[in-house]
Chain A
Amino acid sequence: MQIIVTGTLLGGTYALIALGLTLQYGAARIMNLANGETLVAACFVSFWLFTATGVNPLLGMVVIAPMALVINWLIYAWLLRPLVRRAKNRGMLEVDSILATFGLLFLLQGLMLLGFGGAYFSYRFLAEPFLILGEPYGLNRVVAFVAAVIVASLLYLFLYHTRQGTAVRAVAVDPASARLVAIDVARTAAFAFALGGALTACGGTLLSTFYTFNASMGVIFTMKALIIVIMGGVGDVRGATLAALILGVTETAVASLIDPGLTLAANYALFVLVLLFRPQGILGRASA
C-alpha cells in the first residue's frame, strides 16, 4: 500500500513532465530531446527563488511557467521553425528535430554545468510528515501531487473545453485539415511547443521540492517522459497520465522491494514490454 501511494505521488509529477513532451511531440511534431533541460532549469530557478529570496516554489511556478513558455517559444522560432519549413514530410522533420534537439540538450546542459557545476542541490520545503491511511509521507510530495493534479486538470479543461485547445488537438490529429477551418497551423504548433515547455517546467518546479537534482540529470527525465509518452500513446493526454502513474508505482516498487539502483533498469524493462505488446499505447487502438 505504501508503495502504491508513494508511487502515485511520484507519478503525478512525472505526468506533468510527460504531458509537456507529448504536447511538443503530438501537436508540434517535435521530438524534443532537450525537454529534460527545461525541467532542470526550472529546478534551479525554483531553488534560487527559494533559497535567495524565500519565494515558495508553488508561487515560483507562477513565474517559472510563463518564463518557460517564452523561452520555449523562442527555441521553436529560432531553432525549429527553419526545420519545419524545409521538411518535406513528417519523417524528415522527425529526424531533423531529433538531431537538432539532441545538440540543444548538450548546449543547455553545458551552460548549466558551467553555471552550477556538477554538484547535487536540494532545499527543504515542507519536509514534514503527512499521514495518509495512518502511514507518514513527505508533505512536500503530497503538495507536489496535488499541484500536479491541478495543473493537469487545467490543461485538460483547456484542451477539451476551449476553442483554442480544441484547435491544438485538431493540429495534432490532422494538420492538413486544420488549415481548412482557418486554424493557423504554424502558430498553433509553436504555441503547443511553448505550452509543452511550460508544463515540463511546472513538473520541474514540483520535482525540486522533494528531489535532489543536478545540472546533468535532464536526459534521464527526458527518457522517463519519452517512455511515458510511448506507453500512453503519442498525443494521448489521458494515456500519458495513466502511464505516468504506472511508471511511478513501478519505480517505487522496484526501489523498495529489490534495489534502488534498479529503477532505471525497471523503466526500460517496462518500455521494452510496452513496445513488444502495446506499441500503440496502453489506451491506444491498434492502427488498421
Chain B
Amino acid sequence: MLEVSNLGVRYGRHMALQGVSLHVGKGEISVMLGANGAGKSSLLKAVAGIVPSEPGTEIRMNGRVISGLAAHLIVEHGIALVPEGRGVFGELTVEENLALGAFAKRARGSEQSTLRLVHELFPRLAERKRQQVRTMSGGEQQMVAIGRALMSMPDILMLDEPSLGLSPLLSKELFRSLKKIAASGFGILLVEQNARLSLKIADRGYLIENGAIAGEDTAHNLRHNPAVINAYLGGGGADQTPAVS
C-alpha cells in the first residue's frame, strides 16, 4: 500500500534522512525504532507532506505517486498522521474535532459509520462529545487525536510517539487500541520510543540510525535479536527468553 523508496530529507545543510526505503501493508503494524534524532519523525513528516523531501524520493500510495504533494492532498490519498504533541484543536469540542477529521472528501460519505467505529474503540469520546479538548487529560486528548485521524478513513495511520507523556497503564491501553485498529483493516506506521510495547503489537520493525535504515525484520525476530535488545530494550531486560541468533 505505502511504498517509500530512496527518501531523503534535508534541513539546511544537514541530511536528516538518506536513501530510506520501506513499505507498509493493509492491516499491518510496522514500527520504526531509533534513537532521538535518528530521523524517525522526519520520516513521518516527509510522508505526510509537512516537510519537503529531496529530489529522487519516490513515495507511492496504492500505486500513485504522492511525494511532492501538499499535506492536505496527501490525506485524500489515505494517509493520516497523528503528530507528536497530538495536534488536536484544543479550543474545539471532541465532536468538532472528529467531524473535522472527516473533512477529507474520501471520508465524508462514510462519516457516520466511521464515527461509530471510533466511538466503539474509544467509548470515552462518545461520553465527552461536547467537551472542549484542551480541558481533557493527556490520554483522552490522544484518543481524540487518533479518533480524528481515523475519521479520514486512512489506509495508513501514522503515529509519532503516541505514548509520549502517558502513564505506563495508559500506554498499554493505547497499544491495545492500536492492535484493534489494525485488526479492523487499517495499516499502521508507528514511531515509538517504547520499543518493548511497540514490538509486542507490531508485525514488522525497522531500525533507523543516523538517517538511514539499519535493519528490518519481523517484530518477533527483532525482540529476540541481542543487538536490538541491547540498543532498544534495555540490555536483555524483561523479555526473559534467551536470544538465539
Binding site for B on A (CB under 8 A): 163, 166-167, 169-170, 173-174, 176-185
Contact = CB atoms under 8 A, between A and B. Distances in A.
Would you list the 10 A-B pairs with minimal beta carbon distance, nearest first? A182-B104, A182-B75, A177-B87, A179-B71, A173-B91, A179-B72, A182-B72, A181-B100, A181-B103, A184-B72
A132 B57 CA distance: 71
Interface residues of B, number: 29
Contacts of B92: 166, 169-170, 173
Interface stretch (B13-21, B76-84, B223-231, B234-242): B76-84
Contacts of A167: 100, 103
A183 B70 contact: no
Contacts of A163: 99, 103, 108
B72 A166 contact: no
Nearest to B148: A181
Given A163-B99, A166-B99, A181 B90 contact: no
B102 to A, nearest CB: 8
B2 interface: no
Contacts of A178: 100
Interface in B129-146: none
A177 B103 contact: no
B87 A180 contact: yes
A192 to B, nearest CB: 15
A167 B70 CA distance: 17
B100 A166 contact: yes
B89 A180 contact: no
Nearest to B77: A182
- A167, A169, A170, most chain B CB atoms within 10 A: A170
A169 B108 CA distance: 19
Contact of A181 (B50, B70, B75): B75
B152 interface: yes
A181 B83 contact: no
B232 to A, nearest CB: 28
A180 B103 contact: no
A177 B89 contact: yes
Contacts of A170: 89, 92, 100
Contacts of B50: 179-180
B152 A181 contact: yes
